Amino acid sequence: MSSSLPDFDIVIVGATGDLALRKLYKALYYRCRDGQLPAAGRIIGASRAELDRDGFIAMLEESAAQYIPDEHRGAEDWQRFLSRIDYTPIDAFDCGSYRGLADRLAEHPDRVRVFYLSTGSKLFAPICNCLRELGLITPQSRVVLEKPVGNSLEGAHEINRQVLECFSEDQVFRIDHYLGKEPVQNLMVLRFGNTMFESLWHQSYIDHIQVTVAENLGVEGRAGFYDHTGALRDMIQSHLLQLLCIIAMEPPPSTDPDVVRDEKLKVLRSLRPITGSDVDRFVVRGQYQAGAVDGKPVPSYRDEPGVADDSNTETFVALKTYIDNWRWAEIPFYLRTGKRLARRMSEIVIQFRHVPFSIFGRSELNANRLIIRLQPNEEIRLQLSGKRIGTGMRVRDLQLHLDEDQRGVDHVPDAYERLLIDAIDGRATLFVRRDELEAAWRWVEPITARWEEDGGQPGRYVASTWGPTAAAALLARDNREWDAGAD
Ligand code: BG6
């Protein structure tokens, strides 16, 4: 494959952090291996660690051994990748420490520069200020901001304001890696590449929609970040609301970044706010207690290293909301996410209405469902009713698989592969615009406010279950239940 990308320098700030080591280099490696990066494309790590290039490469070797299968890492491919790597230590707050970086970038002043800030959002403004002070921001530069941007509407607003004193909005790429996942892209094609679904895609035919992002992992050494963030800010504010936007938006007239983002913004603005005592009725929060995963004991959230003994941070949220517009009037959207749940399973379920009248006996007929599975396996499945072979008129569920057969595919690109390429290429469609981000925070804020003023506690759930019982009750009150998600 020959590359159509411009020559670039990508600077990964936070180069020795967990996300970079687990996801970013791996993503760049695969794109390099598949010939998608131009020969003149450098990857410059920058972080506080006082390493030289060899020390950094040793670190990459170690993480690659863990995260990239050996059979995908041929010696020649890997060496070709390493030849692109450089490293320079910086202290985010000390602009003087960016000299080494400045010297490296000065070697190629005309290249596209991508500053990928894989750090906490408190560092975004200081880093951008130093980049500006040293004159490192060229017209061909972009900055990628990891989520979550801020911890509240006010915080996000302030960070955006400061970043935008250094970069223009079209240079700012706020990442939400769920938008880069293959099935999410596929959902856009399914919706807007077929007349069939779009004509059924509204309240006349849809009963309700569920979005679940369930993890079986716990907080995994990220307590410092997680304990003042929680599931609502970490997952609902970003990933789940972005998924909801892709499900619910109107057909955009093109895939241009602003056109798509305008439609997503309209969805966020139409979300019915959950305020005051409605928060107690429509939002369930939970925190995991000790339990067992695969037969091995795991501690309660409060006993995780770095978590306060009396922490009320929620590790689970389930909620019910509505989108107040013509298409979705009075159709419930149920969102659910949590850590240490029964298993890793992320999916969107579009539950269609029952047939208005059944000539086969209603009990035999299940309503149609479209299931978009993100994890652990990726698939899109349409559940229909069909006839069971035989002389009688017996009905059975039919599962139609609507995605490409992945058997024999050597590697399905990860979300970060797609998003890094887009950032280098300057395509912002799959990144979040400032107004979208702030609209999402605005919607989340009354929920956090209620929790703070109410002083209550999250419901407890045993690790490896599906969350507090109140989550099941949220749907049971509406005569519905969460999809069990077939294995
Ligand atoms: C991140 C969250 O954005 O997404 C993590 O900060 C979470 O807490 C992760 O574990 C989930 O991503 P994925 O792609 O593994 O579902």
Model confidence pLDDT, tens digit, residues 287-321: 999 999 888 999 999 999 999 999 999 999 999 99
In angstroms, what is the span from residue 235 Cα to ligand 1's centroid?
7
- Res 18 pLDDT > 80: yes
d(CA 112, CA 135): 15
Q: What is the mean pLDDT of residues 235-262?
A: 97
Q: What is the mean pLDDT of residues 453-460?
A: 90
Average pLDDT, the chain: 95
Copy the structure tokens of residue 153: 């509407």
Q: Is 237 left (phi over 0), alpha (psi -120 to 50) or beta?
A: alpha
d(CA 143, CA 171): 6
Q: Identify the DSSP state of 82.
A: H
Counting every residue, how long is the chain? 487
- Specify the CATH number for 8-146; select among 3.40.630.30, 3.40.50.720, 1.20.1070.10, 3.40.50.1820: 3.40.50.720
Please give the model's pTM, rounded to 2 decimal places: 0.96
Query: Which numbered atom of ligand 1 lies nearest the CA of 213?
Result: 16
In angstroms, what is the span from residue 186 Cα to ligand 1's centroid?
20
Among 3-12, 19-28, 272-281, 405-414, the minimum mean pLDDT is found in 405-414
In angstroms, what is the span from residue 217 Cα to ligand 1's centroid?
10
Catalytic annotation present for 239: yes
Copy the structure tokens of residue 388: 């069971």
Could you tell me if the CB of 234 is within 6 A of ligand 1?
yes
Q: Which residue type sits at 199?
A: S
pLDDT in tens, 327-354: 999 999 999 999 999 999 999 999 999 9
* CA-closest residue to ligand 1 atom 15: 215
Could you tell me if the CB of 182 is within 6 A of ligand 1?
no
In angstroms, what is the span from residue 19 Cα to ligand 1's centroid?
10
d(CA 215, CA 375): 10
- Domain parsing of the chain, residue ranges: 8-146, 179-413+433-476
Mutation to probe ligand 1, out of 235, 339, 347 (largest number of atoms < 8 A from CB): 235
- The 10 Å CB-count burial string (b at 16+, else e) for 45-69 is bbbbeebeeeebbebbeebbeeebe
- Catalytic-role residue among 72, 239, 354, 401: 239
Could you tell me if the CB of 215 is within 6 A of ligand 1?
yes
Query: Which numbered atom of ligand 1 lies nearest the CA of 415?
Result: 14
Question: Residue 1's pLDDT is what?
Answer: 57
Say if strands 85-89 and 41-47 run parallel, antiparallel, or are unpaired. parallel
Helices (H), 193-332: 195-200, 223-226, 230-231, 241-248, 257-270, 278-282
Question: Residue 465's pLDDT is what?
Answer: 96
d(CA 8, CA 421): 11
pLDDT in tens, 34-68: 999 999 999 999 999 999 999 999 999 999 999 99
8 A C-beta contact, residue 422 and residue 428: yes
CA end-to-end distance (rounded Å), the chain: 36
CATH number listed for the domain at residues 179-413+433-476: 3.30.360.10
In angstroms, what is the span from residue 229 Cα to ligand 1's centroid?
13
